[in-house]
């Protein structure tokens, strides 16, 4: 028989903190605290498996589960000496959700369950506090109506307001027991008359309905959305915690409060919190009365005149201090604790690792190590690597009021503010005159590189998390919001329409690339400050990882930034970006339009010196670290001119009619350029292009090498589907390299390998590895081909796919371990089976995403490569992956 229900109490506890998946975070902690001997009101947890069973049984609770609940409930009756539904000494329960991860406020809670027309009287008598009893009953009806009956309870709340007005009072607490009893009657009447619902008097009926409602709240829209945003599975389910009530509102010796064991905003080691006497938890949240500070350090502007808990109830405070110290030692982390005082006795209702800013998180982790509570390894596991990113980018001034215009994808973090422009050339012109601009485009293309670089940030209407704009912006460390579908852009009229408003070129916009939010007007930003703890923490990370971290960088500037963030090499230098420089693009176009091989070589000869300088710059900055250079990848038509003036210029240079240019453009058109004439296919059909690039690499390596600087180029052939492509192109490269070695009389170190980005290359990796000295997984394109999914077009349906739970997370953001991962693992294994020295890395966007990095570690890759600003993220994620899997 499955065990569905787990008891917790001072005398019998069946769960522990390690059972979060089964009992939820809250249930596991209640069990853990009970085992620690802390004063926790007894109760039991109905497991997440029961939740899944509930859905499987068509939203009903099975008899087996009910029976286990009866048994656990009887135990609580024994311990407390109260009875559920007993009119004389009634046992009341709180019923709360609790998933394996904290989903604050997303699911439902019912308090005071077990109140009815009889038990309210028993409670009044036994507490000698009729007002408290009726207040509890009134609250219960309100909550039950909302959570279980699904009624919008504003109509009930307005009755309360009406009553206060009628009585001429301002505070709920000024209503007496009779008032509240009257209110209960009104409530019940409204439920029946307005909604046709009867409030159930049977406590068990209340219990089953409440448990079902909590299970049901797992799939309410906001919980669903929350999981989606955070990449949590919809299949986990929630547990239900049924716990005997203690009452902070049982009178003036009762109260409720919240405390933190350290400061969540900066991590300082101070114990602070606030409390409210004669109140239940929701009163604190509702802000009806100002809570009091628990001690001196908790005082602030609004509460400085209120008495502290330390002053009013020294023994309770001292007990709380001893408990928080015990909890922090036990959980080895800063705690966020909820407590209730019932008639002078302290109860702990919940403890959890407190949320905190990333700066606070670093300080707390480092302090806990200094205090001997954590080891360095344990401390490393306490930080969410993705949050490190925030340390490196400017953010919006939180003090300024903002109006959200629209929300797109948080494609590259950081805040940006400037005048909007719709054209890359305008962006560059304005920026040259000192104007801060935001580049707004339907989508960007390689032609926009200059404009993107000149802008404060990039905002696009189409495209996903790995669209051109997103990838390039992350590489540059520029803020970017992509795929903001609410934007209607007219290039012709230079106007942006959004949310019914119009913005002309030159109007101010602001956005936050970390949240995807776009704001009206000019909002000041605050520059990033890196905390002193960052370096210490990164050092620990480096000592604990086996994956090497490289960066994707196309120029010395980006490479320099990445080095300062700890990059150990370049994992991907995209040479095509170098082709768009205004000084070169014409030669590139001449090359494309060349009819004969000779003409093509002539144009390539013009490009050679530029490329050589590019590589000299990179090699110098990288100073002996590996530099992986991908030979030309995109289809040639990406380099063609689109503007008439550019076409005419090209026609003039070539001495042909502009019609010829147009016709050639058309003949280069491809139906599916992603699957077209690109990558090594260009190298096979136009060997002179790759030959020029290899020559530039070799000559640059020879020149930098001559000056005594070590150089380690890796020449990467993209998009192979068959080993023979690589073999042919490797042969070409080897003869160029040999020639340059001989003419320069310099020995050049190099490796030649390939980018695995097509399923077939992965499947046949055992053959490819005969020729390749390294594999670099291009998981962007590998995801596109494995899924048959264009990242440029998927924006139209991916949101629905995520909403319907088909894709738990965008596969362009976090690597699809099942499908794409299968191919990666297969290729690594097959490749190493014939070449045990084979170096394997990843250079797709996944290289900077923690879950993907964990996968890369497990798959046995040697390194990950990511955009410069993700390098710290990757260093920590790699350390965590190593610790998690060793």
Catalytic residue list: 468, 843
Residue 228, both tokens: 């989606």
Q: Using H for helix, E for strand and C for coil, what is the string for 470-505?
A: HHHHHHHCCCEEECCCCCEEECCCCEEEECCEEEEC
Number of C-beta neighbours around residue 314 at 10 A = 11
Binding site for its own copies (CB under 8 A): 670-677, 681, 684-685, 719, 721-722, 724-725, 728, 757-760, 763-764, 781, 784-790, 792-794, 796-797, 800-801, 804-807, 816, 818-820, 822-823
How far apart are CB 62 and its own copies at their closest, in Å? Answer: 23
How far apart are CB 630 and its own copies at their closest, in Å? Answer: 15
Q: Which is nearer to its own copies, 150 or 805 (CB)?
A: 805
Q: Which is nearer to its own copies, 461 or 853 (CB)?
A: 461
Compute the half-sphere exposure of residue 319: CA atoms within 13 Å on the CB side of its CA. 14
Distant-in-sequence, close-in-space partners of 737: CB < 8 Å, separation ≥ 6: 694, 698, 748, 750
- Residue-wise burial string across 474-490, b where 16 or more C-beta atoms lie within 10 A, e elsewhere: bbbbbbbbbbbeebebe
Q: Which residues pair with 350 in a beta bridge?
A: 338
Q: Which is nearer to its own copies, 25 or 795 (CB)?
A: 795
Residues 269/306, Cβ–Cβ less than 8 Å: no
- β-pairing verdict for 751-756 and 712-717: parallel
Q: For the residues of 661-706, what is the DSSP string, one character each?
A: HHHHHHHH--S-GGGSS-THHHHHH-HHHHHHHHHHHHHHHHHHHH
How far apart are CB 848 and its own copies at their closest, in Å? Answer: 23
Residue 504, both tokens: 């002309």
- Lookup result for tokens 């963030």: 565
Q: Which is nearer to its own copies, 374 or 726 (CB)?
A: 726
How far apart are CB 334 and its own copies at their closest, in Å? Answer: 38
Rounded to 5 degrees, φ, ψ at 58 are 60, 45
Residues 740/733, Cβ–Cβ less than 8 Å: no
How far apart are CB 673 and its own copies at their closest, in Å? Answer: 7
Q: Which is nearer to its own copies, 448 or 568 (CB)?
A: 448
Distant-in-sequence, close-in-space partners of 290: CB < 8 Å, separation ≥ 6: 302, 303, 306
Q: For the residues of 405-433, what is the DSSP string, one character each?
A: EEE-EEEE-SEEEEEEES-HHHHHHHHHT
Q: Which is nearer to its own copies, 685 or 836 (CB)?
A: 685
Supply the angle between the helices 644-654 and 582-593 in degrees, to the nearest 10: 60
- β-pairing verdict for 751-756 and 774-777: parallel
Distance, in Å, from the CA atom of 240 to the CA atom of 95, rounded to the nearest integer, reads 7
* CA angle, 265 then 355 then 325, to 5°: 90
Q: Which residues pair with 109 in a beta bridge?
A: 96
Query: Shortest CA distance to 518 belongs to which of 529, 507, 528?
Result: 507
Handedness of CA 193, 198, 199, 201 (dihedral sign): positive
Helix/strand/coil for 113: strand
How far apart are CB 785 and its own copies at their closest, in Å? Answer: 5
Q: Using H for helix, E for strand and C for coil, what is the string for 817-866?
A: CCCHHHHHHHHHHHHHHHCCCCEEEECCHHHHCHHHHHHHHHCCCCEEEE
Q: Which is nearer to its own copies, 264 or 759 (CB)?
A: 759
Q: Which is nearer to its own copies, 7 or 764 (CB)?
A: 764
- Lookup result for tokens 């000295």: 773
Distance, in Å, from the CA atom of 40 to the CA atom of 241, rounded to the nearest integer, reads 13
Residues 620/709, Cβ–Cβ less than 8 Å: yes
Q: Which is nearer to its own copies, 363 or 791 (CB)?
A: 791
Helix/strand/coil for 8: strand
Compute the half-sphere exposure of residue 763: CA atoms within 13 Å on the CB side of its CA. 7
Distance, in Å, from the CA atom of 452 to the CA atom of 428, rounded to the nearest integer, reads 8
How far apart are CB 720 and its own copies at their closest, in Å? Answer: 10
How far apart are CB 304 and its own copies at their closest, in Å? Answer: 56
How far apart are CB 685 and its own copies at their closest, in Å? Answer: 5
Residues 534/362, Cβ–Cβ less than 8 Å: yes
How far apart are CB 228 and its own copies at their closest, in Å? Answer: 14
Q: Which is nearer to its own copies, 352 or 767 (CB)?
A: 767
How far apart are CB 807 and its own copies at their closest, in Å? Answer: 7
Helix/strand/coil for 112: strand
Q: Which is nearer to its own copies, 36 or 675 (CB)?
A: 675
How far apart are CB 679 and its own copies at their closest, in Å? Answer: 8
Q: Which is nearer to its own copies, 84 or 807 (CB)?
A: 807
How far apart are CB 251 and its own copies at their closest, in Å? Answer: 54
Distance, in Å, from the CA atom of 715 to the CA atom of 712, rounded to the nearest integer, reads 10
Query: Shortest CA distance to 255 belongs to which of 293, 226, 224, 303?
Result: 293
Q: Which is nearer to its own copies, 270 or 763 (CB)?
A: 763
């Amino acid at each position: 028989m499955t065990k569905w229900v787990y008891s917790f109490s001072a005398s019998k506890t069946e769960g522990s903190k390690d059972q979060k998946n089964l009992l939820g975070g809250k249930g596991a902690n209640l069990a853990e605290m009970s085992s620690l001997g802390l004063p926790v009101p007894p109760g039991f947890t109905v497991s997440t498996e029961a939740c899944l069973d509930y859905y499987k049984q068509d939203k009903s609770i099975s008899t087996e589960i009910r029976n286990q609940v009866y048994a656990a409930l009887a135990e609580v009756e024994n311990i407390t000496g109260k009875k559920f539904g007993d009119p004389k000494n009634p046992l009341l329960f709180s019923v709360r959700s609790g998933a394996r991860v904290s989903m604050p406020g997303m699911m439902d809670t019912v308090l005071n369950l077990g109140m009815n027309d009889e038990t309210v009287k028993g409670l009044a008598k036994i507490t000698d506090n009729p007002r408290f009893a009726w207040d509890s009953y009134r609250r219960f009806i309100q909550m039950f109506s909302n959570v279980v009956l699904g009624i919008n309870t504003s109509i009930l709340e307005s009755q309360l307001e009406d009553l206060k007005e009628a009585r001429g009072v301002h505070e709920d607490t000024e209503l007496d027991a009779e008032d509240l009893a009257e209110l209960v009657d009104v409530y019940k009447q409204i439920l029946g008359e307005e909604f046709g619902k009867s409030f159930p008097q049977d406590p068990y009926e209340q219990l089953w309905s409440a448990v079902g409602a909590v299970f049901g709240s797992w799939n309410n829209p906001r919980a669903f959305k929350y999981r989606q945003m955070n990449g949590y599975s919809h299949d986990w389910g929630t547990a239900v915690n049924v716990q005997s009530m203690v009452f902070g509102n049982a009178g003036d010796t009762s109260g409720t409060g919240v405390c933190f064991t350290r400061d969540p905003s900066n991590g300082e080691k101070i114990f602070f919190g606030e409390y409210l006497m004669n109140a239940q938890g929701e009163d604190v949240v509702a802000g009806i009365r100002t809570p009091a500070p628990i001690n001196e350090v908790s005082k602030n502007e609004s509460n400085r005149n209120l008495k502290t808990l330390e002053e009013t109830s020294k023994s309770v405070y001292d007990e709380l201090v001893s408990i928080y110290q015990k909890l922090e030692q036990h959980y080895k982390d800063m705690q966020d604790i909820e407590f209730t005082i019932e008639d002078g006795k302290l109860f702990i209702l919940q403890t959890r690792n407190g949320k905190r800013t990333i700066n606070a998180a670093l300080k707390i982790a480092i302090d806990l190590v200094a205090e001997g509570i954590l080891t360095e390894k344990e401390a490393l596991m306490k930080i969410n690597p993705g949050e490190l990113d925030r340390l490196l980018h400017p953010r919006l001034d939180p003090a300024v009021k903002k109006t959200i215009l629209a929300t797109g994808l948080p494609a590259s973090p950081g805040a940006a503010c400037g005048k909007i422009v719709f054209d890359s050339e305008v962006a560059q012109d304005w920026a040259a005159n000192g104007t801060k601009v935001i580049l707004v485009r339907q989508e960007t293309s390689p032609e926009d590189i200059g404009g993107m670089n000149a802008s404060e940030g990039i905002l696009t209407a189409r495209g996903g998390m790995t669209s051109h704009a997103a990838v390039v912006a992350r590489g540059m460390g520029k803020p970017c919001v992509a795929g903001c579908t609410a934007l209607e852009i007219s290039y012709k009229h230079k106007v942006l329409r959004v949310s019914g408003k119009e913005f002309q070129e030159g109007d101010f916009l602001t956005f936050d690339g970390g949240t995807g939010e776009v704001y009206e007007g000019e909002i000041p930003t605050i520059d990033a400050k890196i905390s002193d703890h960052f370096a210490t923490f990164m050092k620990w990370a480096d000592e604990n990882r086996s994956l090497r971290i490289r960066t994707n960088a196309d120029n010395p500037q980006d490479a320099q930034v990445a080095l300062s963030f700890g990059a150990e090499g370049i994992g991907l230098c995209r040479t095509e970006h170098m082709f768009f420089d205004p000084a070169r693009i014409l030669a590139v176009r001449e090359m494309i339009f060349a009819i004969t091989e000779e003409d093509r070589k002539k144009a390539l000869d013009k490009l050679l010196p530029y490329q050589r300088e590019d590589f000299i710059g990179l090699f110098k900055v990288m100073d002996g670290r590996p530099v992986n250079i991908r030979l030309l990848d995109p289809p040639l038509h990406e380099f063609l001119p689109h503007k008439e003036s550019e076409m005419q210029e090209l026609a003039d240079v070539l001495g042909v009619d502009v019609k010829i240019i147009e016709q050639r453009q058309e003949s280069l058109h491809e139906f599916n350029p992603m699957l077209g004439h690109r990558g090594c296919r260009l190298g096979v059909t136009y060997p002179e292009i790759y030959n020029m690039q290899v020559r530039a690499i070799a000559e640059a390596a020879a020149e930098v090498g001559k000056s005594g600087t070590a150089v380690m180029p890796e020449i990467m052939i993209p998009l192979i589907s068959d080993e023979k492509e690589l073999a042919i192109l490797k042969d070409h490269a080897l003869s160029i390299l040999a020639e340059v070695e001989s003419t320069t009389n310099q020995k050049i170190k190099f490796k030649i390998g390939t980018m695995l980005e097509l399923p077939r290359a992965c499947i046949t990796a055992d053959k490819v590895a005969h020729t390749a000295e390294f594999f670099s997984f291009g998981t962007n394109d590998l995801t596109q081909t494995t899924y048959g999914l264009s990242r440029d077009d998927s924006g139209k349906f991916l949101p629905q796919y995520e909403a319907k739970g088909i894709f738990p997370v965008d596969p362009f953001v976090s690597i699809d371990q099942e499908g794409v991962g299968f191919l990666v693992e297969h290729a690594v294994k097959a490749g190493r089976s014939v070449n045990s020295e084979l170096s394997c890395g990843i250079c797709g966007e996944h290289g900077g995403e923690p879950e993907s990095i964990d996968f890369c570690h497990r798959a046995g890759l040697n390194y990950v490569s990511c955009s410069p600003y993700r390098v710290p993220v990757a260093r920590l994620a790699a350390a965590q992956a190593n610790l998690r899997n060793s």
